[in-house]
Amino acid sequence: MRYAQLVMGPAGSGKSTYCSNLVKHAEDSRKVINVVNIDPAAEYFDYEPLADIRELIHVDDAMEDEDMKFGPNGGLVFCMEYLLENSDWLKEQLGEDVDDDYILFDCPGQIELYTHMQTIRQLTDLLKNWNFNICAVFLVDAQFMVDGPKFLSGTMAALSVMVNLELPHVNILTKMDLLSKSARSKLDNYLDPDPQYLLTDIEACHSKWGRNHHRLSEAIGRIIEDFSLVRFIPLDLRDDENVADVLMTIDNILQYGEDADVKTKDFEYPDENDREDSFS
């Protein structure tokens, strides 16, 4: 069995930084985690990828084509569809089916690919056929989630991804280290959502939309709480213990290492003659 995290999220959510930090954390723990970049628009990352979609197709290839004339979003969608049509390339790059392989797939920052399009779901079906256990990891910038309306919006986006992909799923709040103390204190009230608190915060914004759609906001908040549909795990990449806890949570979901043989050490009983000599 091979294991994979599908690392997703809006642009600027810190997907590549998350991947590179997990690779370093694994090295310190004497583990090996590889990363596959499937973002055809990536400009920079500080990990050495096992495979890079830009060697197959770059978003500029689609945007500069005189016949297609795609924009940035259309170009990204075309590149992902092109990857699926050339899945043999990806399979070759992933190499032989080696037990306990652990791979992070660094996905594009176009949220439509996850919320309602089928491209990423088709990719996960391929990976399952290639003997991968997969966990979807959805990243959201914590700075985006520090008031009621934005938190509700981010929660609904995460829920859309969960429903669309139908995979074991973890939602992570990144960039916690960039929050001020007051923002962090406010965010703590959202990590275990209280619909009444959210509604109070939404009403405090004094927006006409919030007043007119109060009952809708209340219904959404209660659905989220009553069915425990969406929960977020805060992540501070400066805190090694926090990183280890997040990785352990995902590993448990993936059942990573459960098939590994228990390491034992043979115990040698002392020879009877030696024991007699020691007492003489």
Eight-class DSSP state of 176: G
Contact 74, 117 (CB under 8 A): no
How far is it, in rounded angstroms, from Cα 181 to Cα 243?
20
Nearest one of 129, 228, 238, 126 to 169, comparing CA atoms: 228
Phi, psi of 127 (to 5 degrees): -65, -40
Nearest one of 19, 26, 94 to 257, comparing CA atoms: 26
Cα torsion 38, 41, 45, 50: sign: positive
Instruction: Residue 217: count other Cβ atoms within 10 Å of its Cβ.
Output: 19
The Cα-based distances of 4 to 136, 172, 208, 213 in angstroms read: 9, 16, 44, 40
Distance spanning both ends of the chain, measured CA to CA:
56
Q: Which residues contact 171 (CB under 8 A, 6 or more apart)?
A: 138, 140, 158, 230, 231, 232, 233
pLDDT in tens, the chain (280 residues): 899 999 999 988 999 999 999 999 999 989 999 999 999 999 888 999 999 999 999 999 989 888 888 898 999 999 999 999 999 999 999 988 777 899 999 999 999 999 989 999 999 999 999 999 999 999 999 988 887 778 888 888 999 999 999 999 999 999 999 988 888 887 777 676 555 666 666 655 556 766 677 777 777 777 777 666 788 999 999 999 999 999 999 999 999 976 654 444 555 655 666 555 555 5
**List of domains in the chain:** 2-254 (3.40.50.300)
